[in-house]
Amino acid sequence: MARHLAMAAQLIDEDPELAHKHALAASRRAGRIAIVRETLGITAYATGDFALALRELRTYRRISGKDDQIALMVDSERGVGRPDRALEAGRAVDRSALPTPVRVALAIAMSGARLDQGEAELALGELQIPELDPDRAFEWSPALFSAHAAVLEDLGRDEEAAFWAARAEVAADALGLNDEDDEEIFIEDGLIEGEES
């Protein structure tokens, strides 16, 4: 079982289908263990089987008592065409109790659910969280900045969208140079070519 989980973790990015097969094999051997259900849910999500992902992540949550996969649950609800249920699931958790990367991922998923419902202004509001700081980069910053840029573009606010898209690129470049988790990196305004100081 442990070998299948290790292989699933190793293959998830390069071959999600094979990772999912390993997760299924692990679940046949130890289906009542939280990490097995979590891995199966994550690999199902990666292969686009959102109904299975939702079922497995709910089971993981029941067994473990943890909300750390809430963003994938919200996104899976979106994947099966239920943005209203996605929003309901996201609102049901105490965001202040979530670790920062989970809280940021949830904000992005909630924003996506708002977009699914044609509520672009509310989608933008979901992303207005303290972590949306253009002068600091953490592991979650590129995804958050990119999501913010995309919603601004949908709203026709092209200049602001371009600013946040550029910040996402700068953050991604900066983080590629530093492998330490959660280390804060300051982004100087002059690093973005053509930006006024």
Helix (H) or strand (E) holding 25, with range, is helix 16-29
pLDDT in tens, 136-173: 999 999 999 999 999 999 999 999 999 999 999 999 99
pLDDT at residue 131 in the model:
96
pLDDT over 50 (residue 183): no
Short-list 99, 74, 69, CA closest to 89 = 74
| CATH code for the domain defined by 1-65 | 1.25.40.10
pLDDT of 76 over the 70 cut:
yes
Annotated domain spans of the chain: 1-65, 67-123, 131-197
Secondary element (H or E) of residue 185: strand 185-186
Which of 140, 167, 137 has the alpha carbon at shortest distance from 152?
Answer: 167
Which residue is it, tokens 């094979």? 18
Whole-structure pTM value: 0.84
C-alpha distances (whole Å) from 83 to each of 61, 77, 104, 120 are 20, 6, 18, 13
Q: Give CA–CA dist 123/101, Å, rounded.
A: 19
